[in-house]
Amino acid sequence: MKKLRTWSMVVLAVVGLAGSVAAEVTYKGSTTVLPIAQLISEELASSIVLSVQGGGSGTGIAAIIDGTTDIAGSSRFMKLEEFQKAVANGVIPYVWEVAIDALSIVVHPSNSIGAITYEDLRRIYLGEVTNWSELGGPNWEIVVVSRDTSSGTYGTFKEFVLDNQEVTPGALFQSSNGAVATTVASTPGAIGYVGLGYLQPSLRTLALAKTEAGPFVMPSVETAITFEYALARPLFFITNGYPTGEIAEVIKYALSDEGQWLVVDAGFAPIRPLPGM
């Protein structure tokens, strides 16, 4: 009887150890913010399981509204109707700025174009300019690559570059920043827009100016943190109410100096100058 009791205690102890897994927090939303969430997930893995999933800002915001995620990632501000729907569902969104992005204009690396204005960019995406030769570039048909309409990146581009007009229906719509980068890198004549963290040697990044008079500014961590770059924008985590427990720990870490260095590691700008920058 004593032996049986001893073995029972061992089994219970093993089961108890197996059951003491890290708490789980879910992230869903913006593919721009996703690399930041992934790095935070890796750093906190010993104490918190941060499960991350993309899908776009609209998807993440919808998930926080219907209670299917703990943290929504968004590369745009919530819309008034989204706030209203959230409140109607008993959700009080708390919006946390976690990084600064520079929405970067990219072309195929063989394209000789090195800079572009808002006006020319608008004309391209509205389908009014269809060949690079019209802008002093090679005699190539322009292949317009855009994010899908549920994307916060698309929403930012539509608002600030297109004056809320629709992208030409002939565009190639992509579901993520990575898909845009891959398509542009493999398609001569292509132009697209991606988050700062998705820039790579297989893309040519264009300097951008609001007018022909300039100044033409390249997207970078430095020009994003000062908002010198015209398409710099904040990136957000959104929670239901003021967070507590493990969700609060994730937010606290994201806003700490250590978390903000992860933002830099992901290729984005921190929300404030960091020691040693």
Dump pLDDT digits (tens) for 161-183.
999 999 999 999 999 999 999 99
Reference 230, options 242, 220, 240; nearest CA is: 220
Q: Are residues 80 and 118 in the same domain?
A: no
Where residue 249 sits, what CATH number does that domain have? 3.40.190.10
Query: pLDDT at position 276, please?
Result: 85
Residue 208 lies in a domain: yes
Q: What is the mean pLDDT of residues 39-66?
A: 96
Residue 2 lies in a domain: no
Q: Are residues 55 and 92 in the same domain?
A: yes
Q: Are residues 203 and 121 in the same domain?
A: yes
Dump pLDDT digits (tens) for 106-143.
999 999 999 999 999 999 999 999 999 999 999 999 99
Q: Are residues 211 and 252 in the same domain?
A: no
Q: Are residues 57 and 145 in the same domain?
A: no
Q: Are residues 89 and 166 in the same domain?
A: no
Residue 275 lies in a domain: no
Q: In 20-113, which residue ranges form alpha helices assigned H by DSSP? A: 34-43, 57-66, 80-88
Enumerate residues 6+ apart whose C-beta is below 8 A from 151. 30, 31, 56, 57, 58, 75, 175
Structure tokens at 209: 């100016």
Residue 211 lies in a domain: yes
- 211: confidence class by pLDDT, cuts 50, 70, 90: confident
- The position carrying tokens 């809320």 is 164
Q: Are residues 70 and 88 in the same domain?
A: yes
Residue 35 lies in a domain: yes
Integer Cα distance of 201 and 204 in angstroms: 7
Phi and psi, residue 142, nearest 5°: -80, 125
> Counting beta carbons within 10 angstroms of the beta carbon of residue 273, is it exposed (0 to 12), middle (13 to 18) or buried (19 or more)?
exposed
> Counting beta carbons within 10 angstroms of the beta carbon of residue 140, is it exposed (0 to 12), middle (13 to 18) or buried (19 or more)?
middle
Q: Are residues 211 and 122 in the same domain?
A: yes
Q: What range defines the domain where residue 55 resides?
A: 24-99+233-265
Q: Are residues 178 and 207 in the same domain?
A: yes
Q: Which amino acid is at 168?
A: T
Q: Are residues 113 and 204 in the same domain?
A: yes
- 1: confidence class by pLDDT, cuts 50, 70, 90: very low
Residue 1 lies in a domain: no
Residue 8 lies in a domain: no
CB–CB of 180/154 below 8 Å? no
pTM: 0.85
Phi and psi, residue 156, nearest 5°: -65, -45
* Domain total in the chain: 2
Q: Are residues 95 and 119 in the same domain?
A: no
Query: pLDDT at position 21, please?
Result: 57
Residue 195 lies in a domain: yes
Q: Are residues 116 and 203 in the same domain?
A: yes
